[in-house]
Amino acid sequence: MNSSLTPQDILDRAEALRPQLSSGFRDEIVKSLYGEVERITRRAVQAGSEHKWDFDQRIDRLVTSPLLGLPIMLLLLAAVFWVTIVGANVPSKMIADALFFIEDQAAALFTQVGLPWWVTGFLWHGVYRGLAWVIAVMLPPMAIFFPIFTILEDLGYLPRVAFNLDWLFKRAGAHGKQSLTMAMGFGCNAAGVIATRVIDSPRERLIAILTNNFVPCNGRFPTLIMLATVFVAASFPPALASFAAAGAVVGVVLVGVFFTLVVSWALSKTVLKGEASAFTLELPPYRRPNIGRILYTSLIDRTIFVLWRAMQTAAPAGALIWVLGNISVGNLSLAQHTANFLNPFGVLLGLDGVIMLAYIIAIPANEIVVPTMMMVYMGVGMMTDMPDLGELRSLLVDGNGWTMLTAVNLMLFSLLHNPCATTIMTIYKETKSYKWAALSVVITLGLAFLVTFSTAAIARFFGGG
Amino acid sequence: MQKSNSSSPCDTCPASARLEQMGLKLDNFDRVVALAGNPNTGKSTLFNSLTGLKQHTGNWPGKTVTRAEGGYVFNGVRYKLVDLPGTYSLLSASQDEEVARNFILFGQPDCTIVVTDATALERNLNLALQVMEITDKVVVAVNLMDEAIRKGITVDVRSLARDMGVPVIPITARTGEGMQTLLATVGDVISGQILTQPLRVEGTPEVQRAVSELSRQIEQLYPGTPNARWLAIRLLDGDERVQQAILSGEIAALVSDQQRADVSFSKKMAVAGRQ
């Protein structure tokens, strides 16, 4: 070791040498690198017939064409939702029947053995029922949605989506790869937030993180699908009902994309000022999906993973709901008291106190919003089995004064409201800043209040609501 | 530490019998192998087929944003395989490129496999050359040979190996073709049975002068450092991460460490690289 030399000397020497080099030092290096590589490949690689390329390119010209690219994308999205809605209906009902049958038997057994009512209630009508609800509502749609989504992913369609939407995001001052992270958000917003690591610029990455929640995740789809089926589809003839429901869900997704762009734009004009950076996006060749791997990825990695997470939050939430529903002060349960307290605020947003309560309880996981609502509405001290759709509609409309405004605003609120606890934690971990995690809540919640308040005010002004 | 035993009776068994997938059993490993490559070249597919793990693969760039680790045993040697995020270069500083670069530089893998796409070699080799700037122990795997054949593209791997000075092995990760040769080559590069002479890009005369002056000084300060040239280039480019590493003594520790081929350090850096 040369004792006269220190690390600082080397840095100083580098500083001194740098100005002597042409200003484009990096360009110089990159250029010679490229030259070398070109020389090597020219010698070793012989391009063959361009047959397969032609085919790929012809598909690409279609799915990324300025005219047809977006419509094709929307059609695909609608088709995916339609298959999910239609396909999930029957299995959901079957699973629910089976699981609730077990609950009845077990509860009866517990009572027979002579255990106190609150043990049976807490365990079976509280914790178990919470779990059963989440499995019945979430498992079938996920087991259909995730494999289809994974096929599109494996085929290589996702980068084409990013390509189609690039100009929109650029206009909004955001990164074109944001649409890839949004696609991940369909599965789970926490996963979407982690996926933003593919975005180089910290500014654009933050924008993508803060807006990811405007993509409705898997936990929110059941709410959207239920509302679309009960309210939107019900006003169409039965033959068209499932299409109308799928269309309504696509509509909600589009509203989400709209707000993603608006908020991205607003952020890039204020706290996250800057120009959109250029990037190269490879359009990979279309590849034949590997069926075994798709099933594994979508069912084990995604479906079971998301379901497990949901169950972990549903069990304690089910217990909490049971307690709130079974402890009475006066002749109303705690749940009803809280709902009454929240009601004026809910009404202001075109919703009601029960929905507000459901959203507070569902902060850990959005999946339990609908069951919580049902429980309070039906005035029973446990989360309830979803009755069939006709009954559900009459419970909501006749029993609890729901209107089209309530349904629309609930869809909007579900789309825009704050991220779930897991996503907020993930945002904190990824940004290492309480400030950004808090901002993600403020923006989404503020927007949810503002939008639902406005639609309610407008609807009431025109005599609706 | 277990040494590879080339005269084992298993030389006569079917080739596939020599590979044992170890999944996440990473407590004891003899060697660390890194997987680098452009996005979407099949790194994760290769990773999965070697380790028996089910790291998610997907046909879009940027899917692997963190490192995945798994193990395999080949010819009795236990390897830890580290799947790095797919990157186009090691020059700029997005988070995924940072993870990949930090690991190759500071994680000191015993060998780095650069996975390339046979149908887009020109773009892919840029990264291979950049990795070769940092480390000598490189094997280039030309993946997706089946796709290349379907497209009528022929790749002369011997010409590539001659020009680049490192072994080049054609593989099809999806079907497992070429895997045995690849693993054997990696073993030989690590043991020194194959000596690599990586091609290093020269640059203009004034660049060469500056680089050689600075790398001489770096070698003076850290005798025996294998990547003085690369460090010099990064310093001339004003790379803050490398400046920090030199000031904080990270590089010094690395250089004194590497003669011992101690993997505990790479483990520590692996954690830091994950952030």
Architecture of domain B9-191: 3-Layer(aba) Sandwich (3.40)
Q: What is the mean pLDDT of residues A365-381?
A: 73
Report pTM. Answer: 0.66
Q: How confident is the model at residue A271 (pLDDT cuts 50, 70, 90)?
A: confident
Q: How confident is the model at residue A3 (pLDDT cuts 50, 70, 90)?
A: low
Kindly tell me if the per-residue pLDDT of A255 is higher than 90.
yes
Q: Where in chain B is the domain with CATH 3.40.50.300?
A: 9-191
d(CA A439, CA A207): 11
The domain spans of chain A are 69-461
Q: Say what the pLDDT of residue B34 is.
A: 92
Q: What is the mean pLDDT of residues B131-143?
A: 92
Three-point CA angle A189, A191, A194, nearest 5° = 110
Measured between CA atoms, the residue of chain A closest to residue B174 is A290
Across the interface, of B126, B153, B218, the residue whose CB is closest to A45 is B153
d(CA A328, CA A343): 19
Contact between residue B153 and residue A48 where contact means Cβ atoms under 8 Å apart: yes
Kindly tell me if the per-residue pLDDT of B128 is higher than 60.
yes
User: Averaging pLDDT over each range in A164-173, A258-267, B34-43, B91-100, which range is the top one?
Assistant: A258-267
**What tokens were used for A450?**
């503002």
d(CA B197, CA A427): 45
Residue with tokens 């044992």: B20
The shortest C-alpha distance from A447 to chain B (Å) reads: 31
Q: How confident is the model at residue A464 (pLDDT cuts 50, 70, 90)?
A: low
Kindly tell me if the per-residue pLDDT of A75 is higher than 80.
yes
* DSSP reduced 3-state for B54: coil
Residue pLDDT, tens place only, B103-124: 887 777 899 999 999 988 888 9
Q: Which stretch of DSSP H or E encloses residue B33?
A: strand B31-37
d(CA B186, CA A374): 61
**What tokens were used for A304?**
């079971």
Residue pLDDT, tens place only, A186-240: 877 888 888 887 787 888 899 999 999 999 987 787 788 878 877 888 778 888 8
Q: Say what the pLDDT of residue B172 is.
A: 92
d(CA B137, CA B131): 9
Kindly tell me if the per-residue pLDDT of A444 is higher than 90.
yes
B70 phi and psi angles, rounded to 5 deg: -155, 175
Q: Say what the pLDDT of residue A23 is.
A: 62
* Single-letter residue type at A249: V
**What tokens were used for A52?**
């397969």
The shortest C-alpha distance from A140 to chain B (Å) reads: 22
CA separation, residue B237 to residues A8, A446, B43, B154, B243 (Å)? 16, 45, 29, 37, 10
A140 phi and psi angles, rounded to 5 deg: -60, -50
CA separation, residue B22 to residues A301, B27, B69 (Å)? 20, 11, 11
Residue pLDDT, tens place only, A387-426: 566 667 777 887 788 888 898 999 999 999 999 888 898 8
Kindly tell me if the per-residue pLDDT of B274 is higher than 50.
no
How many CB atoms lie under 10 A from the CB of residue A251? Answer: 15
CB contact under 8 A, A44 and B156: yes
Q: Say what the pLDDT of residue B33 is.
A: 93
CB contact under 8 A, B60 and A150: no
Residue pLDDT, tens place only, A52-61: 567 777 888 8
Residue pLDDT, tens place only, B157-202: 999 999 999 999 999 988 889 999 999 999 999 998 998 988 887 7
Chain B neighbors of A12, CB-CB under 8 A: none
**What tokens were used for A65?**
């064409």
Higher pLDDT, B94 or B249: B249
Buried b (16+ CB within 10 A) or exposed e, B75-91: bbbbbbbbbbbbbbbbb
**What tokens were used for A11?**
């840095």
How many CB atoms lie under 10 A from the CB of residue A160? Answer: 24
Across the interface, of B95, B122, B238, the residue whose CB is closest to A37 is B122
Residue pLDDT, tens place only, B59-84: 444 444 556 788 888 888 889 888 88
Q: Say what the pLDDT of residue A435 is.
A: 93
CB contact under 8 A, B65 and A195: yes
Residues 144-183 of B with CB under 8 A from A: 147-148, 150-157, 159-160, 163-164, 174
d(CA A293, CA A96): 29
Mutate to test the interface with A, among B47, B53, B59, B231 (most CBs of A within 10 A): B59
Residue pLDDT, tens place only, B237-257: 877 778 887 888 777 776 665
Q: How confident is the model at residue A280 (pLDDT cuts 50, 70, 90)?
A: low
d(CA B5, CA B78): 12
Of the candidates A364, A46, A26, the one whose C-alpha atom is nearest the C-alpha of residue A219 is A364
**DSSP, res A212:** G
Percent of chain A predicted with pLDDT > 70: 90
Measured between CA atoms, the residue of chain B closest to residue A198 is B62
Q: How confident is the model at residue A446 (pLDDT cuts 50, 70, 90)?
A: very high
d(CA A82, CA A148): 12
Higher pLDDT, A379 or A156: A156
Q: Say what the pLDDT of residue B249 is.
A: 77
Residue pLDDT, tens place only, B6-64: 444 444 444 444 677 766 666 677 899 999 998 778 888 888 888 877 655 544 444 44
